Chains A and B, each alone.
Chain A
């Protein structure tokens, strides 16, 4: 029952710790986000390897995105993505109306400006997972009102 909190608390500490360390150095906001994202990237690669060990082979890109929205999200955040939209040309928008890592923060607009820091790791997670499955992408996140957030995935065709 406390296992959901494990990752959440660790993640929060990670973000806070990184920013604290950065403040003592030159302290540049963008670099911390990048570091978090790259951490998420490596974690995503390993996670995907584990999760897809027993699943059947994916048919196409959409199949992979659905896997991310359903199985992957459920295993990491204990819930599925609420809404997946695509323009069928390589842009997918994953909408989570109650993002687990943000629910503890606020239920509206308070702390909105700090929210992107807490989404960087998850963006990296998605990007790493996709990369290991053979898809190069760029993942960004936006929050308009907590705890709902949207992850936008742009697939890069080679």
Chain B
């Protein structure tokens, strides 16, 4: 009888580059749109995810959070190694935080008015790491062609249905699309962990905003789960240091509001991909502008 709100998850085609992923069977035989037919560009090779040596990126003395991917990164240029050492030091000994932060603060007035408004990567080295609270993390690495054109800019936004297939996924710049799709996919595990009963005190169980899911060298991933188990995942460039926690929250609120509006649209079937132009333009306003 009647409509069933839950759509069966799409089945992954056999050309799936991620064989380890969960692949529930479904009635629909379309491949999910994150399995593209393009061969992955060289940049999406996982080993080169981390430091692309042509980019100079790390502010001296700018230790970042504990990125989970550090282990498999090939040694980069000197200052990259420098950062890693500092990070290890920071993780290992609390004392390392002191000098690092002081250094960061010292650099701050030199930087000027605190707006990371300089586009080219070359000056990223002079970008003082904002001395933020450890949870929001600091990363030095920037990637992609997007300039630090302003605040409230994400690099990738995804809406995932409760059955864990994507309803909407948009990323900028588009040559790294596959990498972002993969990142969003892996972040789903972190989301599940946070909202499960086992994840006690990881996040306030009553709140919809999940906060930082995990940081990597290049970017940070934030999550938000609605009461209807629809997940919003946002990937933000790590060099965008002026992005504050409550700005991220407000971006998620906007996403949630737009999603609610879509649900009330009679031309939208719950469980379908989102094609709404209004949603597109709202997401556009939140994404980084590519120079």
Contact = CB atoms under 8 A, between A and B. Distances in A.
A46 B5 CA distance: 11
A74 interface: no
A59 B205 CA distance: 8
B260 interface: yes
Where chain A touches its partner, the secondary structure class is helix
A56 interface: yes
Contacts of B257: 53
Given A52-B228, A57-B227, A38 B1 contact: yes
Contacts of A53: 226-227, 256-257, 260
B128 to A, nearest CB: 37
Contacts of B6: 131, 136
A42 interface: yes
A59 B256 CA distance: 20
A34 interface: yes
A72 to B, nearest CB: 12
A38 B3 contact: yes
Interface string B198-212: 000000011110000
A55 B227 contact: yes
Contacts of A56: 206-208
Contacts of B208: 56-57
B260 A134 contact: no
A83 to B, nearest CB: 25
Interface string B203-224: 0011110000000000000000
Interface in A37-53: 37-38, 41-42, 45-46, 48-50, 52-53
A134 B226 CA distance: 11
B2 A49 contact: no
A50 B227 CA distance: 10
Contact of B206 (A34, A52, A57): A57
Give the bracket for the number of chain A residues in contact with chain B. 20 to 34
A38 to B, nearest CB: 4
A134 B263 contact: no
Contacts of B29: none
Contact of B2 (A41, A55, A59, A132): A41
B227 A45 contact: no
Contacts of A57: 195, 205-208, 225, 227
A147 interface: no
Given A57-B208, A133-B228, A45 B270 contact: yes
A7 B264 CA distance: 17
A137 B35 CA distance: 34
B2 A34 contact: yes
A4 to B, nearest CB: 21
B259 interface: yes
Interface of B: 1-6, 162, 195, 205-208, 225-229, 256-257, 259-260, 263-264, 270
29 contacts: A34-B1, A34-B2, A38-B2, A41-B2, A42-B3, A45-B270, A48-B227, A48-B228, A49-B259, A49-B264, A50-B264, A52-B226, A52-B227, A52-B228, A53-B260, A55-B227, A56-B207, A56-B208, A57-B195, A57-B225, A58-B227, A59-B205, A128-B5, A131-B5, A131-B6, A132-B228, A133-B227, A133-B229, A134-B228
Interface of A: 34, 37-38, 41-42, 45-46, 48-50, 52-53, 55-59, 124, 128, 131-134, 136
